[in-house]
Structure 1
Amino acid sequence: MKIAITSQGLDLSSQIDPRFGRAAYILIVDTETLACEALDNSGNVNAFSGAGIQAATMIHDKGAQVLITGYCGPKAFTTLQAAGIKVVSDATGTIVQAVERFKNGEVQYTTSANAEAHW
């Protein structure tokens, strides 16, 4: 399964970036092989608005079925739900730790946004 994880760096040893739409990178990780693809999210970091929606579209296009992040705003959350992508929020630690928690069933899916909308 492919999952998306917001990241401060380019590999599995990187720390989770708590922001979704404005994360430095989003890693697409294959949970079976641990192969990962780093998506450069710099185009959204300074976006006036719509960063979360654009990031949600990007991970959907890469085939991710789950997003692991720290915070997810209401517009992004709605977009992810519409795309059928489940969200795990309040995540911390490294990317590889997040993958292991996911594989071990130690995550809870979020039912709503946990960040305020940006205007």
Structure 2
Amino acid sequence: MRIAISAAGAGPDAPAEERFGRCAWFVIFDEHGNVQESIANTARSSAEGAGVKSTQLLLRNNIDVVLTGRVGPKAMHAMLNGGVVVYTGVAATVNETLEKYLNGQMKPLAVPNARQHAGDTRSERLAT
């Protein structure tokens, strides 16, 4: 099993990121909590479809579980169709988020918990 955590930086000590599609990095762990790699989220600067493109990136990297904060409808649909289980409720850092997950303190997400976005607009950046 491979677990991806949305992050503001590479590595387990980086701040965890609430935003799924616009996070800078995904830090990847195995089911035992061992760091495997950090993947730059090349979809984050997409004019539109960042969530779906981020999902495609994770599916290409055989991710089974995503730990994040907010997921929009299209990304959520793509992850569910791809067999990815999504958990919400990130902590301050990637390591702390992983610990929450491993201790059963994160909730699985079955429906989107963010509105659909249309690109990375100025008002959206100010709101997050």
TM-score (norm 2): 0.86
Matched, 1:103 2:102: yes
| 1:34-53 superposed matches below 5 A | 34-41=34-41, 43-53=42-52
Greater Cα offset, 71-80 or 25-34? 25-34
Identity %: 28
**How much does 1:33 deviate?**
5.0
Matched, 1:28 2:37: no
In structure 1, the partner of 2:14 is: 14
TM-score (norm 1): 0.92
**How much does 1:93 deviate?**
1.5
Please state whether the residue corresponding to 1:28 is helix, strand or coil: strand
Measured on the aligned residues, the alpha-carbon RMSD in Å equals 1.3
- Paired AA for residue 3 in structure 2: I
For structure 2, the 5+ residue unaligned runs are 119-128
Give yes or no for contact 1:8–1:16 (8 Å, CA) kept in 2.
Answer: yes
In structure 2, the partner of 1:72 is: 71
Give yes or no for contact 2:27–2:35 (8 Å, CA) kept in 1.
Answer: no
**How much does 1:31 deviate?**
3.0
2: distance between equivalents of 1:60 and 1:105?
24
In structure 2, the partner of 1:117 is: 116
Greater Cα offset, 28-37 or 88-97? 28-37
Give yes or no for contact 2:2–2:30 (8 Å, CA) kept in 1.
Answer: yes
1: distance between equivalents of 2:38 and 2:70?
19
**How much does 1:2 deviate?**
1.1
- Paired AA for residue 118 in structure 1: H
